[in-house]
Structure 1
Amino acid sequence: MEQQWDDAADVVVIGFGGAGACAAIEAAEHGANVLAIDRYGGGGATAISGGIVYAGGGTPYQEQAGFDDTVDAMLDYLRLETGDVVSEATLRRFCADSVANLAWLESHGVPFEASLCPYKTSYPTNRHYLYYSGNELAPPYADKAAPAPRGHRVRGRGTSGKVLAARLLAAARRRGVRVSTQTAATDLVTDETGRVVGVACRRVPPGAARAMHRLLSRANRKLNIYFRPAGKLLDRPLRRIEDRYAVPYRVRARRGVVLAAGGFVFNRRMLAAHAPAYRAGSALGTIGDDGTGIRLGQRAGGGTGQMHRVSAWRFYNPPLALVEGVLVDRDGRRVCNEMLYGATVGDRIVNHHGGHAYLVVDQRILREARRQLPEQTLWFQRLQATYLFTVGHVKADSLEELARRAGIDAGGLRATLDAYNAAARAGERDAMGKDPDHVHPLARPPFYAFDCSLRTRRGYPCPMITLGGLTVDEESGAVTREDGTVVPGLYAAGRNAVGVCSESYVSGLSIADCVFSGRRAGRAVATAAGRPSA
């Protein structure tokens, strides 16, 4: 049996993105010999993310910005977002460990700073690295939990996930973690008792095919972020190289395997089976987010949870002026408080309004939004807003004509706007709880409607990620079966596992969960008793 293995390590980590890197570092720091494998070059979805870590309870950056956040305030808020997806004890531990986990990232070279964004935004510009990254300021959240900015953006220009991933990957290598890139896990190897003892893989060997695979995968990842149809053209050539040139590679895991291979948003079949309402959205991540890790865990006996939960992000802020508009569905009914975080807006659109919504603004709002555009946006946000302001809208001199052109019920839209304008003129509290500073009558024609529906539009896509995964023991991250018993030798982290982020999403919560669950799994597997070599 020993001769069947091509390599061996105490711990094998499948997927070398944010969760996988944290698991690998933690396992190495607890004395384990670690091998990480990645289908591409490492980094995963973390490397193309905004690099936001949701942290609170009194971080140094909150204190420097003048905020006195507490663990209890963070817990009160996250209870509203997460529901009962994890136990109260686990959620409290997540909040209580937040400051330490941020310090742990810093100890591995990840930079942060305390420059507070002075306005609500979906993602700050390069001048700001601390902001309100969720619904903290909006009712009912602000009524039940003391608000504080908890979105800690990694310091780096543009979308700074690339800095976060690079620092973590470098830290893993400094601690002796071996990395096998361009290596796809195809199966978990179990012994006669059902314990996971290794991983069967296929690895693209050195040579021209490997070089081409690396080049195509980098281009595919970049294109998928901004224009999936172009990225999709590279999917088949990548798979063709893997099918034709990859060779078997079997790795022995003496203590266990950690699954950290991302979600399943790029697996259209799984998406249709578990979350069919989201098929019209735009997948965000890498094509490695195809559910491989989840399916490997299932074949080993693991159960799953929250597979129906998908986070679809409908952002129209920045520029901030657009939140003064009114978001309605096809019947002209109000969808939600327009100040809510984009993932919450997306959830309301998909699950309560049939996937269709339209942001209605007037000339005053559009003019102010154009004025704010240069100051409040990074280039990709500016590109999207420019599309909306030029060709991505319908325009009319009356609400009735606007409704006809946009496909909205005219009577419903008129009734909604009349009620909204009357409340605005009377200075009354907005029915949806919107901040009074952003409630003004929509009365200055022409009027504009931006289509905020789920379906993908070339210049205004609705990006989404999956939130469900394998069920795990909340103390160790060990994968559990449907009856609650543990699959021995198998652990999961990040979007491969049900965790803090598996009910709803706010910016930074997924990466924070990757750190929390990755460290948990790495620590548990490293300190687990290994099986004797057979």
Structure 2
Amino acid sequence: MTLLAAAQADFPLHMPVIVAGGGACGLVAALAAHDAGAEVVVIERDPVPRGSTSMSLGAVCASGTADQRRLGVDDDADRFAADVMEKTRGTADPALARAVGQLSGEAIDWLREAHGVELSLDPNWPPAFGHSRMRMHVSPGRSGADLMDRLIAACDRAGIPIVTSATLESLFVEGKRVTGVRYARPDGSREDIGCGALILATCGFGGNHAMIAKHIPAMREARYFGWEGNQGDGILLGEAMGAALADMDAYQGLGLLAEPAGIDLNPRFLI
């Protein structure tokens, strides 16, 4: 992860917005930038955009959605934020908790109505894990891989290019402003693209053992059950530019992983 002077760059291509990371976060960000009128490109390390979302249930907890209203679920941003604060024993950022509660429902409805990404409230999931209302929205395939396929298809319909097998390596900077990126190809070649704005959506650092040892030493010997491509690239680049870091010791412990098969057991089916 390196920073390069903008003066060194001779970009053959310039894009108003570059999104680094083709997981669910990055693809949704690309769709939002597109809808705001910007031309955008996504660069993704893997041959096929997948990431941690593809390993998950693909469910999204959201409040105030059209589906909740249709099914008579009384929910809003204040109740969502209150649940978060209670579950985290007051340690979460209250402003951030409320923002998620307010915007999550709008995001679900927008993805469904504007981009055909079907996410529906699952009435078979009762309130659990700190949620006081039914909030679990899932895609028809009920898997993270299905959700990723639908997001990729939405980007394709929107004409958003996704450059795969492209590992973000360096940023071109001028002061505190990013002017472009350099990414590496599997054959060792490198390509540069200029940009007006960069969105880092490269997920966390669970696959980076050195960062785990540094920031979460208690978990240095734990089994990582996530996407190995989560190497903390965006965090390292942001840190190199002087960005502040917070909550680096946070993690989600999963006590329902069957070893050595690596199967995630659903608590609803345990007797």
TM range (shorter): 0.7 to 0.9
Counterpart position of 1:301? 242
Aligned counterparts, 1:403-482, within 5 A = 457-459=259-261
1:197 to 153, 158, 179: 179
Compute the displacement of 1:90 (Å). Answer: 3.4
Distance 1:459 1:175 in 2: 39
Aligned counterparts, 1:19-34, within 5 A = 19-34=25-40
Amino acid across the alignment from 2:176: G
Compute the displacement of 1:133 (Å). Answer: 4.4
Amino acid across the alignment from 2:76: T
Distance 1:27 1:187 in 2: 22
Distance 1:249 1:22 in 2: 24
- SS of residue in 2 equivalent to 1:271: helix
Match status 1:43 vs 2:68: no
Distance 1:113 1:32 in 2: 28
Amino acid across the alignment from 2:260: R
Counterpart position of 1:132? 127
Counterpart position of 2:149? 166
Report the CA distance shift for 1:114/1:177 in structure 2 as closer, same or farther (over 3 A). closer
Q: Deviations over 1:273-292 (max 9, x none)?
A: 11011123222332210111
Name the structure, 1 or 2, with higher relative contact order (CA <8 Å, separation 6+): 2
Contact 1:38 1:183 in 2 (8 A): yes
Compute the displacement of 1:16 (Å). Answer: 0.8
2:61 to 54, 61, 64: 54
Question: Greater helix share, 1 or 2?
Answer: 1
Contact 1:278 1:310 in 2 (8 A): no
Compute the displacement of 1:21 (Å). Answer: 0.6
- SS of residue in 1 equivalent to 2:252: strand
Distance 1:283 1:462 in 2: 12
Counterpart position of 2:19? 13
Contact 1:282 1:462 in 2 (8 A): no
Report the CA distance shift for 1:70/1:194 in structure 2 as closer, same or farther (over 3 A). closer
Q: CA RMSD in A?
A: 2.3
Q: Deviations over 1:178-232 (max 9, x none)?
A: 22100001111112x232111111123xxxxxxxxxxxxxxxxxxxxxxxxxxxx
Distance 2:236 2:242 in 1: 10
Compute the displacement of 1:306 (Å). Answer: 0.7
Compute the displacement of 1:313 (Å). Answer: 1.2
Match status 1:247 vs 2:197: no
2:133 to 148, 158, 167: 148
Report the CA distance shift for 1:286/1:114 in structure 2 as closer, same or farther (over 3 A). closer
Counterpart position of 1:267? 208
- SS of residue in 1 equivalent to 2:226: coil
Deviates more, 1:165-174 or 1:182-191: 165-174
Contact 1:110 1:163 in 2 (8 A): no
Normalised by the length of structure 2, the TM-score is 0.85
Report the CA distance shift for 1:195/1:287 in structure 2 as closer, same or farther (over 3 A). same
Contact 2:170 2:182 in 1 (8 A): yes
1:312 to 247, 253, 256: 253
Report the CA distance shift for 1:54/1:114 in structure 2 as closer, same or farther (over 3 A). closer
The gaps in structure 2 that reach 5 residues or longer are 1-6, 266-271
Report the CA distance shift for 1:154/1:281 in structure 2 as closer, same or farther (over 3 A). farther
Distance 1:197 1:308 in 2: 31
- SS of residue in 2 equivalent to 1:249: strand
Report the CA distance shift for 1:3/1:56 in structure 2 as closer, same or farther (over 3 A). closer
Counterpart position of 1:365? none
The gaps in structure 1 that reach 5 residues or longer are 118-129, 137-146, 205-244, 317-383, 385-456, 464-534
Q: Which has the larger radius of gyration?
A: 1
Contact 2:84 2:92 in 1 (8 A): no
Report the CA distance shift for 1:268/1:72 in structure 2 as closer, same or farther (over 3 A). same
Report the CA distance shift for 1:280/1:60 in structure 2 as closer, same or farther (over 3 A). same
Normalised by the length of structure 1, the TM-score is 0.45
Identity %: 30
Contact 1:10 1:33 in 2 (8 A): yes
Distance 2:9 2:241 in 1: 23
Contact 1:262 1:293 in 2 (8 A): yes
Aligned counterparts, 1:208-357, within 5 A = 245-253=187-195, 255-315=196-256
Report the CA distance shift for 1:284/1:180 in structure 2 as closer, same or farther (over 3 A). same
1:105 to 98, 111, 136: 111
